[in-house]
């Protein structure tokens, strides 16, 4: 099977007739920048087995006597997904999306590389070249250059103080600070100051480009934040309305801001946010505790994002991923150590959701990778490539640029409705 045929099968399901209509494969007349991708990376390896927990597997509770989630219905129990898997109760804000079938999970997914180093594994997930450290750029940066239609300075946006590896590369990408500072005026907005620094940086071989990109992006983001982009008027009203009411700190706050920016600035097509604090080696808790305290604002932020994107959510796919999973067994300290397979979360208007996808083999002792971890049965690149092709409409040649050496025979995965 050729790659294109395979990916058709992957996203539509073999033998399924591709539906006509707005989301049809060959649809034309769409704004080429209108299809959005947001990637949320959980740095530190989130414990996927307690995010989407195999509560129906008798071995699950045995592997995790102190941290296993209780079955649905019990006090602090998991939220039933399909009679076998249960969602962590702190992720309650996502249940409406699950019920609307706009949220899917791909379990036992991850990188084929065996490393249990956070830093190497994150690097591979961001370069999309597992096992190859010399790849100079990140896959989202390659995506910027390979999407249909010309790129603009803000096509790819990261929220955070540094440029992540995933967006590193030759194509322009911008970052804004977390929190309100990201859309606040700076001294460079004063004409005399910007004129002076413009001269200093205009011809600088090393920093000139970064300087200019920063200025362009800042102007555009400021315009979007103040609703002057002629995009979605509703969003700026909403932003103004939020001026009085404090938003919750952290990710929900950034998610709300991101949604407003994307609605106001049609040029923003790709966005990235990284969240830390998932490396739960000790006392991670079960329904409550350390992991729950991290998951709660994440779920809240994703729900805010989906809600505030409004109609744009239909044209958006959101992926949540983490560098590897954690040990199937809890360790001696009520925590989990570095593992292998994990769960990827996929949300969006075109997601064929309400299902836990992937090749799940159970958590019996015989099924575990090296006797300790979830195996990886779905390569993370398969999931990303399906989204890139079906949702972002990448052609074969472009897809090969973004995801070189895609695995030859990954399993079938009906991830998207289109």
Partner 1 sequence: MRTLIPIAFAAIALAGPACAAQLTPEQQAAHVLNRLAYGPRPGDIARVAQMGVQRYIDQQLAAAEPLPPELAARLDSLSAAKQPAGDSLRAFLAVRAAAKNNGEEGKEQRKEVLTAMTLQTAEARIARAVDSPNQLQEVMTDFWFNHFNVFVGKGLDRALVASYERDAIRPYALGNFRDLLGATAHHPAMLYYLDNWLSTADGYTPRSRREAAGAKGKSSGLNENYARELMELHTLGVDGGYTQQDVTELARMLTGWTYDNRDLALHDAGFRFDPARHDRGDKLWLGHAVKADGQREGEYALDVLAMHPATAHHISYQLAQYFVQDQPPPALVARMAQSYLASKGDIRSVLRTLFSSPEFMAPEAVGAKFKTPYQYVISAARAGNLPLADTRKTLGILSRLGMPLYGCQTPDGYKNTQDAWLNPDALNRRIAFATQVGQYVDAQSLQATLGGSLSPRTLGVVADSAPPLRAAMLLGSPDFMQH
Of 67 and 79, which CB lies nearer to partner 1 in the complex structure?
67
Cβ within 8 Å of residue 320, ≥6 positions away? 40, 41, 42, 298, 302, 344, 345, 346, 347
Nearer to partner 1, 231 or 334 (CB): 334
Copy the structure tokens of residue 22.
Answer: 């707005």
Tokens of 245: 């009411």
CB of 339 to partner 1, least distance (A): 11
The minimum distance between CB 199 and partner 1, in angstroms, equals 5
Closer residue to partner 1, CB minimum distance, 175 or 377: 175
User: First-to-last CA distance in the chain?
Assistant: 20
Q: For residue 121, what are its two tokens?
A: 């594994």
Q: What is the largest CA-CA distance in the chain?
A: 69
Nearer CB in complex with partner 1: 2/133:
133
Q: How many CB atoms sit inside 10 A of residue 235's CB?
A: 24
21 in helix, strand or coil?
coil
- What's the angle, vertex CA 221, arms to CA 218 and CA 224, rounded to 5? 150
Q: Between 197 and 230, whose beta carbon lies closer to partner 1?
A: 197
Residues forming contacts to partner 1 in the complex (CB under 8 A) are: 43-44, 115-120, 160-163, 168, 174-177, 181, 186-188, 192-193, 196-197, 199-201, 203-204, 206-207, 210-211, 213-215, 217-218, 276-277, 279, 281-283, 331-335, 337-338, 370
Q: Can you tell me the distance from the alpha carbon of 263 to that of 225, in angstroms, rounded to the nearest whole number?
A: 10
Structure tokens at 329: 């067994």
Helices (H), 226-379: 233-244, 251-264, 290-309
Shortest separation between residue 152's beta carbon and partner 1, angstroms: 14
Whose Cβ is closer to partner 1: residue 294's or residue 391's? 294
For the bound state, the minimum distance from the C-beta of residue 159 to partner 1, rounded and expressed in Å, comes to 10
DSSP 50: G
Q: Closest separation between CB of residue 25 and partner 1, Å?
A: 35
Burial environment of residue 324 by CB neighbours within 10 A (0 to 12, 13 to 18, 19 or more): buried
Q: How far is the CB of 26 from partner 1 (least distance, A)?
A: 36
Min separation Cβ 186 and partner 1, Å: 5
Residues 6+ apart with CB under 8 A from 72: 55, 78, 79, 80, 86
- CA-wise closest residue to 68 among 47, 96, 82: 47
Taking the least distance from each CB to partner 1, the nearer of 5 and 189 is 189
Q: What is the DSSP letter of 20?
A: P
Q: Measured from the CB atom, is 84 or 201 closer to partner 1?
A: 201
In whole angstroms, the minimum distance from the beta carbon of 386 to partner 1 comes to 30
């Amino acid at each position: 099977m050729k790659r294109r045929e395979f990916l058709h099968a992957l996203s539509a399901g073999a033998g399924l007739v591709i539906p006509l209509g707005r989301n049809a494969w060959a649809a034309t007349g769409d704004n080429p920048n209108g299809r959005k991708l947001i990637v949320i990376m959980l740095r530190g390896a989130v414990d996927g087995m307690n995010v989407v927990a195999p509560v129906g597997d008798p071995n699950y509770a045995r592997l995790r006597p102190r941290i296993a989630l209780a079955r649905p219905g019990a006090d602090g129990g998991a939220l039933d997904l399909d009679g076998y898997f249960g969602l962590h109760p702190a992720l309650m804000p996502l249940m409406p999306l699950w019920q609307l079938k706009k949220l899917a999970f791909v379990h036992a997914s991850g990188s084929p590389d065996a490393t249990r180093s956070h830093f190497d594994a994150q690097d591979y997930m961001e370069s999309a070249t597992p096992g190859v450290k010399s790849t100079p750029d990140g896959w989202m940066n390659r995506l910027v250059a390979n999407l249909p239609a010309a790129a603009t300075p803000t096509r790819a946006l990261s929220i955070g103080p540094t440029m992540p590896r995933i967006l590193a590369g030759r194509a322009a990408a911008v970052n804004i600070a977390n929190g309100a500072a990201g859309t606040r005026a700076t001294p460079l907005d004063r004409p005399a100051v910007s004129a002076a620094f413009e001269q200093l940086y205009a011809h600088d071989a090393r920093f000139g480009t970064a300087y200019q990109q920063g200025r362009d992006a800042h102007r555009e983001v400021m315009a979007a934040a103040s609703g002057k982009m002629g995009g979605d008027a509703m969003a700026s009203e909403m932003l103004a309305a939020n001026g009085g009411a404090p938003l919750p700190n952290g990710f929900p706050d950034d998610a709300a801001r991101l949604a407003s920016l994307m609605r106001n600035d049609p040029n923003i097509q790709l966005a990235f946010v990284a969240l830390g604090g998932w490396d739960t080696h000790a006392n991670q808790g079960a329904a409550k505790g350390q992991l729950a305290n991290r998951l709660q604002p994440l779920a809240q932020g994703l729900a805010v994002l989906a809600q505030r994107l409004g109609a744009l959510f239909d044209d958006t796919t959101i992926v949540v991923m983490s560098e590897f999973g954690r040990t199937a067994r809890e360790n001696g300290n009520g925590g989990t150590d570095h593992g292998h397979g994990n769960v990827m979360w996929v949300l969006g208007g075109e997601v064929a959701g309400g299902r836990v996808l992937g090749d799940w083999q159970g958590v019996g002792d015989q099924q575990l990778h090296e006797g300790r971890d979830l195996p990886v049965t779905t390569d993370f690149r398969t999931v990303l490539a399906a989204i890139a092709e079906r949702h972002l409409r990448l052609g074969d040649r472009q897809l090969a640029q973004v995801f070189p050496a895609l695995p030859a025979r990954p399993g079938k995965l009906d991830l998207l409705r289109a």
